[in-house]
Amino acid sequence: MKSKSIAIIGGGPSGCALAILLKRAGHKVAVLYLEKRPEIIVGESLVPAVIPMLKALGVEDEVKSYSTFKPGASVWLSKDEETTSPFSAGQGKIDPYAYNVPRIKFDKTIFNKAKSEGVVFFEHLAKIEKTGNSDELKLANETIEFCKDFFNGQPEWIVDCTGRTRTIARLLDIPVKTGKRKDVALFAHLSGAEKIDPCNIHLHRLHKGWSWRIPLPERTSVGVVINPSHLPEYGKTIEEQYDNYLKADDTLCRLTANAKRETNVVKYSNYQLISERFYGKNWVLTGDAGGFLDPIFSTGLFLALKGAFRLAKAINEEDLTPAALKKYEKEQKWELQVWQRVVDTWYNGRLFTLFRVGQDRMHTPFGKFIAPHMVKYLTRIFTGEAVYTRYSRYFLRFVTGSLIDLMKLERLHNRDVKDLQVN
């Protein structure tokens, strides 16, 4: 492997994790970033599939010290119907736990780890330019000067880790594939909300949209995902819309009746996007800069970190040959697309139908036979392992498709679809 000079644009978890892995391999790497983070950041509930990467980076103990231990996930089909999946029920190959993390602290942990391992940081808004009509990019002269010619001219590679800013994709006007839904997420941190014990993430299906409740130390993150067409009826500002929606919805009103909002309300939109291209002559996209999904199964941070690990492998082991880059792009797209299909089962009602089959058909001989498999593989959606074996993918496709017909669950599913239409 030949040592390379690499400029990483963006100092979030994906960029810093990539910098750590590349620095360990002996590359000349620097991170260009701006210390501009919102008060709170979506992606606070980790999945167990993140834990091996935290261990590899050497940060799990620190993350554990300020986070809430997360043993599973709970889904509320209605205000009176709850189904809980401890991660251990997935019987996977990874540790059956995760953490709910204050993202500002978590991001700083990865950032500080990179610094402690010798990664060079430049607090600077990196400017990237095209080089004529070619597919090659370069750092603008003012950026090179700010970095005091760290790269001895231009870096050999520029990696875009700017998240949803998508610096390179916007510069090159790279086409994207967007999801069908155009929901928005409003969320804030509350104190005094109903206590969650054990500290699972709780997902609530609401009359309009759905919500999450994530137990953090001393606070609860409460988010609402909703079709934006509904928001004007709750107020003009996002604060009014969020506060009034919590009061108007029966479930959230009960859970947050004595709560106080401790932060501003943050709004996220357009969170289902996959870039058509992930690399060019001397540039690569990773993390959210390449694609991101709906937050329903907490895969965002996991996929961002996994993209960094995958790209580091392509650089360190495969030397970024055209074949390695093509393989990297294919794997990134596949990962996003297959998880998007899993996300779709939440919104088309089929996942809710399966959660209810225990009440409807599991007393039958076939129901008793398939029940253990359903528990295992549906739980793996929440651990982050659901799509990584062919059997898991085929099984999930079967139970969210043919099984509904086989067990004569059309009536149950039609009710779920009707309920979801208001969302």
> What's the CA gap between 388 and 368, in Å, rounded?
26
**Is residue 268 within 8 Å of residue 212, measured between CB atoms?**
no
CATH class of residue range 184-269? alpha beta
Q: Tell me the torsion sign for CA atoms 10, 11, 16, 19.
A: positive
Q: What pTM was estimated for this model as a whole?
A: 0.92
Amino acid at 35: E
Residue-wise pLDDT tens for the chain (423 aa)? 678 999 999 999 999 999 999 999 999 999 999 987 788 999 999 999 999 999 999 999 999 999 999 999 999 887 777 888 899 999 888 999 999 999 999 999 999 999 999 999 999 999 999 998 789 999 999 999 999 999 999 999 999 999 999 999 999 999 999 888 888 999 999 999 999 999 999 999 888 889 999 999 999 999 999 999 999 999 999 999 999 999 999 999 999 999 999 999 999 886 689 999 999 999 999 999 999 988 889 999 999 999 999 999 999 887 888 899 999 999 999 999 999 988 888 888 777 777 766 555 666 676 676 777 778 888 989 999 988 888 888 888 887 776 666 555 555 444 554 444 445
Return the structure tokens found at 130: 């095209």
pLDDT for 367 equals 65
pLDDT for 172 equals 95
Q: Tell me the torsion sign for CA atoms 284, 320, 299, 305.
A: negative
Smallest Cα–Cα separation from 86: which of 216, 198, 223?
A: 198
pLDDT for 373 equals 78
pLDDT for 421 equals 41
pLDDT for 110 equals 98
pLDDT for 161 equals 97
Would strands 176-178 and 157-160 be described as parallel, antiparallel, or unpaired? Answer: unpaired
| Ranges of each domain in the chain | 5-39+103-177+272-340, 184-269, 348-420
pLDDT for 354 equals 73
Helix, strand, coil share of the chain (percent; to 5): 45, 20, 35
Examine domains 5-39+103-177+272-340 and 184-269 and report if their fold is the same: no
Asked if CATH classification 3.50.50.60 holds for the domain at 5-39+103-177+272-340, the reply, yes or no, is: yes
